[in-house]
Structure 1
Amino acid sequence: MATPQLDPYQRELDPHRRAQDTRRSVLEMAVLMKRQDGEEGGLPAALRGPAASGPAVDLFLALLQDRLPVWLKILDDLMHLVGKGTVADNLLPIARAGIDYYAEVQSAALPAFTSPAVTVRFREAVKDSLLGPTPEVGPLAGYLAAEQSRGRVAARVDPSASARLLLAGCFRHAYYELLVGAGSVPSRDDSAEEIIRELRLEPHAA
């Protein structure tokens, strides 16, 4: 799911301030999604009507406001591990936490986005609230670049692209687990190991 695209300066903020700003961004998005008809300039007439409210939407936004700051802190804390242990060992719990995060958020998102009107309102709120994937990709790419500068990640690796692939792998597992059931996909632990292994980040990886 989309997450707050906070300004670059926020990468330098202390964890408590960053968490507060993240929650505030999600709250602003919730307010925008609840605007009544007539307050939303460019929204097509066919998709106007009551505010995008309701228990399912409220639950999704409340869960995002609670879980997203924790998930971003996990990613930010990676920088404390630069040069320590192995890159694979450092990233493995990140992949596992990512699967858990996406599975939980998606389980709330699926029943919330059941109409075109809600989806359009969400997209408008994402744009107006500066939401997007940047806060997740940034910390991962920064960690990989820092390890690369120490020779612990292969020179051929693109840190930003690899960060996006790692997150995409976590999202995919979570989505398919919700779609077909946990018994029809690898375990979360096995999937996390596979995601990190197949990124082939370390210099000796083929």
Structure 2
Amino acid sequence: MTDERAREEDRPLTGAALTRARVLDAAARLISTVGLVRATTKEIARAAGCSEAALYKHFRDKEDIFVRVLRERAPRLAAVVAGLPDRAGQGTVREHLEAVVMVAVPFYRQSFPMAGGLLASPELLAAHRRKLDDAGPHHVSSHLADYLRAEQRLGRVAADVDPDAAAMLLIGGCFHRAFLEVFYAGEAPTEALRPADLEEFARTTVRALLGGIEPGKA
């Protein structure tokens, strides 16, 4: 990044950009606290300190706001995994997979409260799917599988490993970990989150994936 661009990004938002940012921030807070259904555009506008008319100058509808919150306010999981295939052969496979875990768990943890209302409404879910077009959540595991295939061709992943299954196992583990953290909301029993530390979870999960669980494979 150039110094000029860095200075540009550091400048305080003003005008329309500031209003848009406030709407997204307010929407993220409301969706996480009261749910997607109750986070109406009227409530979002009130929390953002603007009118509904001003809100609609930046977003088509509530679904558009929801999509933008996920893309701009949640950890950038899609961007992380999309860039992995081009990084095959660089660093280590372990490092890349641990980095995915470190982004995936916070992403899903933040997304669960927002997605709850969406999944509970077939109409909203159908509308959301149409707006995503071909950018659905399956791309997270498919990009990761493409990365593992690229490493496999370089001899850095065992030839008998199914990249799709391995990618699904890793993303599924992150998804479940995030679900437990949201479900227990800081009141998890001792045995619920092992290991408790996210970095240690990333290390042990990736180690188990790479080593396998059969004797002699670790």
Give your verdict on TM over 0.5: yes
Mapped to 1, the partners of 2:94 and 2:187 lie a distance apart of 26
Change (3 A) 1:103 1:83: same
Deviation at 1:162, TM superposition (A): 1.1
Aligned match of 1:104 in 89, 107, 110? 110
Q: Report the counterpart of residue 38 of structure 1 in structure 2.
A: none
Q: Secondary structure at the match of 2:83?
A: helix
Note the C-alpha offset of 1:69: 8.8
The answer to whether the 8 A contact 1:157-1:201 is kept is: no
Q: Which residue of 1 aligns with 2:172?
A: 168
Residues in 2 aligned to 1:201 and 1:144: alpha-carbon distance in whole angstroms: 15
Measure the CA separation in 2 of the matches of 1:72 and 1:60.
16
Q: How many Å separate the matches in 1 of 2:204 and 2:161?
A: 18
Letter of the 1:76 partner, please give it.
A
**Once the 2 structures are TM-superposed, how far is the Cα of residue 182 of structure 1 from its aligned partner?**
4.2
Which deviates more from structure 2 when the two are superposed, residues 188-197 or residues 86-95? 188-197
2:112 counterpart letter in structure 1: Q
SS in 2 for 1:83: coil
Q: 1:169 Cα deviation (Å)?
A: 0.9
- Number of residue pairs aligned between Structure 1 and Structure 2: 151
Matched, 1:187 2:197: yes
Other structure's SS at 2:76 match? helix
User: TM-score, normalized by length of structure 1?
Assistant: 0.61
Alignment-mate amino acid for residue 134 of structure 1:
H
Q: What is the match of residue 94 of structure 1?
A: 100
Corresponding letter in the other structure for 2:152: Q
1:120 to 106, 119, 122: 122
Mapped to 1, the partners of 2:95 and 2:75 lie a distance apart of 23
- Structure 2 letter corresponding to 1:70: R
- Going from structure 1 to structure 2, the CA distance change for 1:123 and 1:108 (only over 3 Å counts) comes to closer
Alignment of 1:1-206 (within 5 A): 54=40, 60-67=66-73, 70-110=76-116, 112-113=117-118, 116=120, 119-129=121-131, 130=133, 132-182=136-186, 184=188, 185=193, 186-200=196-210, 205-206=217-218
Q: How many percent identity over aligned positions?
A: 28
Shift of 1:61: 3.8
- Higher Cα Rg: structure 1 or 2? 2
Q: Deviations over 1:77-135 (max 9, x none)?
A: 2224311222111210111100111111113334x359x5xx21133224433363332
| Partners of 2:75 and 2:107 within 8 A in 1 | no
Provide the rounded CA distance (Å) in 2 between the counterparts of 1:127 and 1:52.
Answer: 20
| Shift in alpha-carbon separation, 1:182–1:191, aligned structure 2, 3 A | farther
Which structure is richer in relative contact order (CA contacts within 8 A, separation 6 or more)? 1
Gaps of 5+ in 2: 1-36, 45-61
* Deviation by residue 1:130-168 (Cα, 9 ceiling, x = unmatched): 363332122101110010111111112111111111111
Alpha-carbon shift at residue 53 of structure 1 (Å): 6.7
TM-score of the two chains, using structure 2 as the length reference? 0.58
Structure 2 Cα separation of the partners of residues 146 and 139 of structure 1: 11
